[in-house]
Every structure is written in structure tokens, then in C-alpha cells.
């Protein structure tokens, strides 16, 4: 009797959060897969079972593929900047190149954008990107580089990259702070031992810092990729996926399909694709962690 | 010419003086132990020698050349850290050879050096293991191997045994002593453990609050400590210290009355002492005789604690009006708690320290 009680007790404590997860996360995720097999809209009570029809439509839709490419570009650049550049910056800040006060100043300055709301960031950068009057164009004019001036958010070639750069500006400092914590946990005497062996700063980075932050790097890479495939808000605020779907991502494509075009079944199939992409990334992470 | 010389070296961290005007030398093949309590500056001193900290004032000479500004890697030194500082993602072989790989030494040469050092330290079967798969003693050997493989001019050891349990510490202490002989190495070794210092050192440098208290051979320091600090730091159990007063002194002998009642004549260079001076008399636990026959002074007391260690017995005796006195008796002594005893203090075994804690020289 007592044994059964002890065995059940942990589940009792877990049950509130499990219940919330089931109702608000796993339930809707599974429900969404069912929705994606129907053709339906919010204005029409008739649901029509179409099997994989929504998916056939999805995979033949060039906007979906353009969105997927944009998400992938988002992920690649974000991993490069928010993970690897951030690691480099964190290592430099930790290497006692700068005085401690300067390190605090840099760290805080880099970190501040991450606490701003996305809408504020979006509006701020819309002003910075503004043609002619914006800060970037003003800088180009001031330095005689007028020919490089663009309608940054209004041209198909630059819109996506312009939005991606804003995301890097906002989140790289946050990642730097996380990497600095991770680097600070590496024992100092490992560096000193290698210094006595004649290793340069770069060799110390290679032999100690990189292996020392491997776990953190893996987790932050996965989180960054998750974020890149789920991105919606900053794109919606800055370009709403335009011009001509040039900055469309899966999130905005799904939102537009569901709430503007009212093809909710189709939007559910986009959501399902995002769901499976993130599951795949998560499984890769788990496998890499197990392999270690 | 000394192998290494510290000349009036000081180190300050902001307003804090960690090392103050320290001078000592290390000869070729000498095993020098820097010993002192926590915070005395011994590890800082080692880091100054290693080049991991900058010297604030004074000179570091190696083979007669000033090395103050030479980068750590070019000083010809190898250091074994207290935490071993093994790279967790590298195998034993990679840990030992990392310095050679950085120096781009030929792979075949590296392989032969690794196997040579592994043989010296009995690490042959562990070369492919990661540090986390090793025991504390094995990690310690890898750290030593990493130092040996570089063939340094001088080995620096920073409290290398402090993370090991008592049995392993004893074993590694013996191994380090053997290694010193086998490699004909010059070693500077930091520890807070006076037993390590006494057993390993050719020369001991006793440090306290950033200053040198005394330099000498282990037995020299044990038998003729320069002051109360050295006297009580070396030796376990500690030297008994009994306050007293000079009551009579002539050219060669001073008579000292201990506060706890006994009186004894001691042959000291009495010119530094005059009647009425406060002094401290020290006596090692093993020098005290239980039973007062033939002693110059004796103290009555009652046994409060008996510790039977097998080879010896440590007896704590309560003295009326004073601190308990520790006595070491050889073998398994037949003595029990509560026994009334008379402790004999042979005059020849007494150390006398003046009011400032400095030893008063004995005659002869």
C-alpha cells in the first residue's frame, strides 16, 4: 500500500503541469495535424476531408518553398552570427584584453537590445532602414557611397536580409552573455597550464574554450535553429512578408493563410511542417548529446 | 651559480602586499619546498616563478639570467597544478603531448617520448583514456607526466597531493621522492603540509604572511627553529609552548621560572636576556619524559586523553594553571586517563624564545 503510494506520488506532483501541457501544447499539436487533413474555413461550418490534399497544394506552392528557403537562410545566418560570432566576442571579452569595466560596458551594450519588445525593435529599424532619411542611407551619403543606397525593406533582393540582420542585432548580445557564463565556468588553470606549454591565445581558444563550451554551443545552436523556423513577429512587424513574398517565412505564410485568406486547413498543414522540422532538429540535438 | 634565485622579490595586488622582499636560491638538482599556512603567499611565489603573475619588485634569476619579463613558456619550467589542470576532452596521451604538438614536434618523436614517460609513471595501459575515467592518483601521474615530457630545467609543484586521500598521498609522496632521484630534477614544491615538507625537501623555505620565516634543511629547522612560528609550524603534534620569566642569568646560563610552577636552568647565550624578561619555553612532545627522574625540571599533571597509534602513544596531560601538554611515548604505553604523572623536561631539549618570539641561541 505504502509502496504504491510512494510510486504514485511523483506523478501526483507532475500532474498539474502534465495536464496543462496536454491541454495547451500536445493536444493542439495533434489536433492541428487532424485539421490539416480537412478543407475548412472559420466562416464555413462544413468541413471537407481532403486527405493529403492540403500538403499536395503546399508542396506545389512556390510561396511555401520561398518561405522555407528564407527560414533556412534565417537559420544559417543566425547560427553563424548568434552562435559562432557571439562565441568569438565572448572569448575576446573573457580574454582580459580589455579592462574589466570596459568588458561590463560592452556586455551590457550588446545585451540591451534583447530586452526590447519586438515591435519597438521593428519600428526602430524601420526608421534606420528608411530610404534617404534613415540612418543607414544618411551614413552612405555622408561617406560618398550613395550608389549603395537602397530601399532596404522595399526591395526583393534586400528585404529578407535586412530583417535577418535586425534579428542578429537583437539577439547576438544575449548569446554573448550566455557564452560568457559558459566560458567563465572553465577552470582558469587549464588556460594557465596551456600558456606554460607555449600556446597562443588562439590555440588556447581552440584547445580549451571550444571544447569547454561544446555543450552550450550545441544547445544554443538548436535553440537558434528552432527560433529561425518559428520566426514570425519581427518579419510581420517590419515587412509582413513583402515585397512580393520576398521576405515571407513559414510563420507569416501560415498566419496569412489562416487569418487573411481563411484557408485554415492549408495553414494547419504549414504548421505541421514547422512542427516536424523543429522535431527533426530536436532529435538531431538529442542524438548528438547521447553520442557524447 | 644557483639554478634559480629570487632577489628581494615583492608582489602587490592593489594595496595588498602578497609577497614582501623575499630572497632565496635553488641549486641544481635540489628539492626545495615552500611551506606555510593558507594565505602565506607560497602559491603566489610559485606563480611568480612560473610567470603566471608579474613580479612587482625584485629579480628572478634562472642560471644567472634575469627572467622577470620572459613569457611563461620560455622559462624552461613545467608546472603541476593543484587541480592537475588536465584537459577533459583529451586522452592521457594527448594531455601529455599537447605542449609538443603546439611546438610542432615530429609525430614519431612525440610518440616515443609519450611511451617513454608513460613507462616511467606506469601509465602505459591508460594512454587512450580520458581524465574522467582515471582515479585521483592516476590523474596526478598524468599531470606529472605532462611536466616530465617537456624535459624542463625546473619542475614546479603547486600542492600536488592536497586532493588525494591519506593513503594515496603517502604513496604519491614516495613516488615523487623516487622521481626526483631518478630524473635528477630540480624541484620547487609548494605545500601547506609540514609532513610533506619534512619528508621530501632538501631545503625548506618557511613562509608566513608573505615573508620568509626561515630557510634550512628539514632537520635543521626542526631542531633549531628561528622563532615560535617555525617551531610550532613544523612537527606534529606541535611543540609545547610554556610561558615563563627569566629569574637569574649570568654569562652562560639563564634560570627560567615557568608560569606553571617549574623552574629550570638553561644554557643560552644570556646576553640577550636579563632578569625579569618574559620568555616562552618550547619543548617537542617526544622530548618530554613521563616520570621526572633525572630531568632538569618537572611538572605534575593528570592524563586527560590517551591516543594509541600502535607505534607510539600520544598523551595529553592537564597541568594546573596552564594549557594541556602533549607528550609522545614510544610504542603502546601502559597509561590511562586520569593517571597522575610527573612530566620531566630535560634542559637540553628546551627551546627558548624571547618576548618577540625570536629564538635565543643555545650554547654549544
Distance CA(A82)–CA(A170), nearest Å, equals 10
Taking contacts as CB-CB distances below 8 angstroms, the residues of chain A near B83 are 187, 189
Task: Give the pLDDT mean for A200-206.
Answer: 92
Pull the grid cell for residue A24: 495547451
Minimal Cα–Cα distance from A199 to chain B, Å?
Answer: 6
CA distance A11 to B192: 51
Pick the closest to residue A94 from A103, A85, A86 (CA basis).
Answer: A103
CA-nearest residue to A292 within chain B is B89
Number of domain units in chain A: 2
Distance (Å) from the C-alpha of residue A205 to the closest C-alpha of chain B?
13
Q: Is the pLDDT reported for residue B277 higher than 90?
A: no
On whether any CB of chain B is under 8 Å from the CB of A211, the answer is: yes
- Residue A70 sits in the same domain as residue A54: no
Closest CA–CA distance from residue B203 to any residue of chain A (Å): 26
**Mutual angle of helices A214-230 and A264-291, in 10-degree steps:** 170
CA B127 → CA A28, A193, B92, distances in Å?
53, 20, 5
Do A68 and A121 lie in a common domain?
A: yes
Mean pLDDT of chain A: 92
Rg of the Cα trace of chain B? 24
Structural domain contains residue A11: no
pLDDT value of position A105: 92
Whether A53 is in a domain gets the answer yes
CATH number for the domain formed by residue range(s) B240-353? 2.40.50.140
Which pairing describes strands B4-13 and B57-62: parallel, antiparallel, or unpaired? antiparallel
CB atoms within 10 A of CB B310: 7
A45 and A69 housed in the same domain = no
Question: What are A227-263's pLDDT values in tens digits?
Answer: 999 999 999 999 999 899 999 999 999 999 999 999 9
DSSP B272: G
Structure letter (DSSP) for residue B362: B
Q: Model confidence over B107-142: pLDDT tens digits?
A: 999 999 999 999 988 899 999 999 999 998 899 999
- Work out the percent of chain B whose per-residue pLDDT is above 90: 61
Residues A34 and A148 in one domain: no
Stretch A15-28: mean pLDDT: 95
Contact of A96 with chain B, judged by CB distance below 8 Å, is answered with no
CATH classification code of B4-233: 3.40.50.300
- Our CA-based measurement puts residue A225 at a distance from the nearest CA of chain B, in whole angstroms, of 26
Sign of the CA dihedral with B288 first, then B291, B296, and B299 last: positive
Tell whether the model's pLDDT for residue A1 goes beyond 80: no
If we measure between CA atoms, which residue out of B277, B295, B276, B278 comes closest to residue B287? B295
Residue of B14, B77, B99 to mutate, interface with A, max A Cβ within 10 Å: B99
Residues of A in contact with B90 (CB under 8 A): 207
**CA dihedral over A184, A188, A194, A195, signed as positive or negative:** positive
Interface of B with A (CB under 8 A): 50-52, 72-74, 77-79, 81-83, 85, 87-90, 98-99, 102-103, 146, 150
Q: Hey, are the CB atoms on B103 and A203 less than 8 Å from each other?
A: no
Checking if the pLDDT of B364 tops 60, the result is no
Q: Which residue of B has its CA nearest to A189?
A: B85
B4-233 shares its CATH topology with B240-353: no
Do residues A57 and A50 lie in contact, with contact meaning Cβ atoms separated by under 8 Å?
A: no
Where residue B271 falls among pLDDT bands split at 50, 70, 90?
A: low
Is the distance from CB of A253 to CB of A68 less than 8 angstroms?
no
Q: What is the mean pLDDT of chain B?
A: 89
| A52 shares a domain with A137 | no
Under DSSP, the state recorded for A115 is G
Q: Which residues of B touch A198 (CB under 8 A)?
A: 73-74, 99, 102-103
User: What pLDDT digit, counting tens, does each position of A96-131 carry?
Assistant: 888 889 999 998 999 999 999 999 999 999 999 998
3-state secondary structure of A206: helix
How many CB pairs (< 8 A) connect A and B? 55
Q: Residue range A134-157: average pLDDT? A: 90
**Is the CB of residue A263 less than 8 Å from the CB of residue A253?**
no
pLDDT beyond 80 at B2: no
Contact assignment for A211 to B89 by CB distance below 8 Å: yes
- Report the 10 Å Cβ neighbour count for A215: 13
User: What SS3 class is residue A87?
Assistant: helix
Expressed as residue numbers, the domain containing A36 is 23-60+262-292
The set of cell numbers assigned to B189 is 614544491
In a domain, A256, yes or no: no
Residue among A187, A195, A208 whose CB faces B73 most closely? A195
Same domain, A82 and A219: yes
Phi/psi for B334 (5° steps) reads -90, 80
Shortest distance, CA A177 to any CA of chain B (angstroms): 24
Q: What is the DSSP string of B54-122?
A: --SEEEEEETTEE-TTS-GGGTTEEEE-TT----TTS-HHHHHHHHHHHTT--HHHHHHHHHHHHHHTT
Residue B297 has φ and ψ, to the nearest 5°, of -145, 155
Q: In the prediction, which pLDDT does B334 show?
A: 86
pLDDT at position B327: 95
User: For residue A38, is it within any domain?
Assistant: yes
Does one domain contain both A132 and A223? yes
- The three-point CA angle B238-B242-B246 to 5° equals 140
Distance CA B47, CA A186 (A): 19
In this prediction, residue B292 has a pLDDT band, given cuts at 50, 70 and 90, of low
The residue whose grid cell reads 593513503 is: B167
**What are the residue ranges spanned by the domains of chain B?**
4-233, 240-353
Q: How far apart are CA B296 and CA B265, in angstroms?
A: 7
CA separation for the pair B1, A279 (Å, rounded): 70
> Quick one: average pLDDT of A197-215?
92
Pair (A152, A282) in one structural domain: no
**Residue to substitute from A196, A201, A203, A215, interface B, most B β-carbons within 10 A:** A196
Does one domain contain both A54 and A111?
no
pLDDT at B296: 67
- How do residues A164-177 score in pLDDT, each as one tens digit? 999 999 999 999 99
CATH code, domain carrying A129: 1.10.3720.10
Examine residue A118 and state whether it is found in any structural domain, yes or no.
yes
Average pLDDT (A37-46) is: 86
Each residue of B10-20: pLDDT tens digit? Answer: 999 999 999 99
Residues A139, A279: one domain?
A: no
Residue of B nearest to A192 (CA): B52
pLDDT of residue B270: 58
pLDDT single digits (tens) B331-346: 888 888 998 888 888 8
Instruction: Please indicate, yes or no, whether residues A242 and A272 belong to a single structural domain of this protein.
Output: no
DSSP letters spanning B137-202: HHHHHHHHHHHHTT--SEEEEESTTTTS-HHHHHHHHHHHHHHHHHHT-EEEEEES-HHHHHHH-S
What's the pLDDT score for residue A169?
Answer: 96
List all residues 6 or more positions away from B128 whose beta carbon is below 8 Å from its beta carbon. Answer: B91, B92, B93
| DSSP structural state of residue B210 | T
Residues A55 and A71 in one domain: no
Helix (H, G, I), strand (E, B) or coil at B9: strand
Amino acid at each position: 500500500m505504502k509502496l504504491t503510494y510512494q510510486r504514485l506520488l511523483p506523478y501526483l506532483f507532475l500532474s498539474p503541469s502534465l495536464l496543462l501541457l496536454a491541454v495547451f501544447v500536445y493536444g493542439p499539436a495533434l489536433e492541428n495535424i487532424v485539421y490539416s487533413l480537412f478543407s475548412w474555413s472559420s466562416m464555413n461550418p462544413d468541413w471537407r476531408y481532403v486527405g493529403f490534399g492540403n500538403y499536395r497544394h503546399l508542396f506545389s506552392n512556390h510561396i511555401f518553398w520561398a518561405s522555407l528557403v528564407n527560414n533556412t537562410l534565417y537559420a544559417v545566418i543566425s547560427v553563424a552570427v548568434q552562435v559562432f560570432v557571439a562565441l568569438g566576442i565572448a572569448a575576446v571579452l573573457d580574454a582580459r584584453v580589455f579592462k574589466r569595466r570596459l568588458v561590463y560596458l560592452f556586455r551590457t551594450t550588446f545585451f540591451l537590445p534583447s530586452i526590447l519588445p519586438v515591435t519597438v525593435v521593428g519600428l526602430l529599424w524601420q526608421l534606420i532602414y528608411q530610404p534617404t532619411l534613415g540612418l543607414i542611407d544618411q551614413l552612405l551619403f555622408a561617406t560618398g557611397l550613395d550608389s549603395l543606397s537602397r530601399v532596404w525593406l522595399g526591395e526583393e533582393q534586400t528585404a529578407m536580409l535586412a530583417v535577418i540582420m535586425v534579428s542578429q542585432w537583437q539577439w547576438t548580445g544575449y548569446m554573448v552573455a550566455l557564452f560568457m557564463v559558459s566560458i567563465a565556468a572553465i577552470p582558469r588553470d587549464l588556460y594557465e597550464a596551456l600558456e606554460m606549454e607555449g600556446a597562443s591565445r588562439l590555440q588556447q581558444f581552440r584547445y580549451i574554450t571550444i571544447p569547454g563550451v561544446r555543450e552550450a554551443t550545441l544547445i544554443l545552436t538548436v535553440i537558434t535553429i528552432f527560433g529561425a523556423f518559428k520566426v514570425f513577429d519581427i518579419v510581420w512587424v517590419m515587412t509582413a512578408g513583402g515585397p512580393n513574398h520576398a521576405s515571407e517565412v513559414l510563420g507569416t505564410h501560415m498566419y496569412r493563410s489562416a487569418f487573411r485568406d481563411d484557408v485554415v486547413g492549408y495553414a494547419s498543414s504549414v504548421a505541421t511542417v514547422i512542427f516536424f522540422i523543429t522535431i527533426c532538429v530536436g532529435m538531431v540535438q538529442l542524438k548528438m548529446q547521447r553520442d557524447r | 651559480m644557483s639554478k634559480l634565485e629570487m632577489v628581494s622579490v615583492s608582489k602587490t595586488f592593489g594595496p595588498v602586499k602578497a609577497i614582501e622582499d623575499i630572497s632565496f636560491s635553488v641549486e641544481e638538482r635540489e628539492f626545495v619546498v615552500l611551506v606555510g599556512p593558507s594565505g602565506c603567499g607560497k602559491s603566489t611565489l610559485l606563480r611568480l616563478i612560473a610567470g603566471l603573475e608579474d613580479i612587482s619588485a625584485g629579480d628572478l634569476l634562472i642560471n644567472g639570467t634575469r627572467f622577470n619579463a620572459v613569457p611563461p613558456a620560455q622559462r624552461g619550467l613545467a608546472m603541476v597544478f593543484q587541480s592537475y589542470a588536465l584537459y577533459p576532452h583529451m586522452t592521457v596521451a594527448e594531455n601529455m603531448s599537447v605542449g609538443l604538438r603546439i611546438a610542432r614536434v615530429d609525430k614519431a618523436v612525440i610518440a616515443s617520448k609519450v611511451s617513454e614517460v608513460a613507462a616511467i609513471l606506469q601509465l602505459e595501459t591508460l594512454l587512450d583514456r580520458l581524465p574522467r575515467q582515471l582515479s585521483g592518483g592516476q590523474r596526478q601521474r598524468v599531470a606529472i607526466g605532462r611536466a616530465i615530457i617537456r624535459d624542463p630545467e625546473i619542475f614546479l609543484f603547486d600542492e600536488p597531493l592536497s586532493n588525494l586521500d591519506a593513503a594515496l598521498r603517502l604513496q604519491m609522496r614516495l613516488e615523487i621522492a623516487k622521481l626526483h632521484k631518478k630524473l635528477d630534477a630540480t624541484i620547487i614544491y609548494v605545500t601547506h603540509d609540514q609532513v610533506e615538507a619534512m619528508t621530501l625537501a632538501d631545503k625548506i623555505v618557511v613562509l608566513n604572511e608573505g615573508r620568509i620565516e626561515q630557510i634550512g634543511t628539514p632537520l635543521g629547522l626542526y631542531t633549531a627553529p628561528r622563532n615560535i612560528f617555525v617551531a610550532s609550524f613544523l612537527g606534529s603534534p606541535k611543540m609545547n609552548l610554556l610561558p615563563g620569566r627569566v629569574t637569574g642569568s649570568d654569562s652562560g646560563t639563564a634560570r627560567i621560572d615557568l608560569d606553571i610552577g617549574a623552574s629550570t636552568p638553561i644554557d643560552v647565550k644570556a646576553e640577550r636576556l636579563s632578569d625579569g624578561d618574559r620568555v616562552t619555553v618550547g619543548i617537542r612532545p617526544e622530548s618530554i619524559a613521563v616520570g621526572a627522574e633525572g630531568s632538569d625540571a618537572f611538572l605534575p599533571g593528570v592524563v586527560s586523553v590517551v591516543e594509541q597509534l600502535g607505534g607510539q602513544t600520544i598523551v595529553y596531560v592537564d597541568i594546573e594553571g596552564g594549557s594541556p601538554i602533549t607528550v609522545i611515548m614510544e610504542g603502546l604505553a601502559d597509561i590511562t586517563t586520569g593517571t597522575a604523572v610527573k612530566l620531566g623536561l630535560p634542559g637540553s631539549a628546551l627551546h627558548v624564545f624571547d618576548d618577540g618570539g625570536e629564538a635565543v641561541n643555545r650554547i654549544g
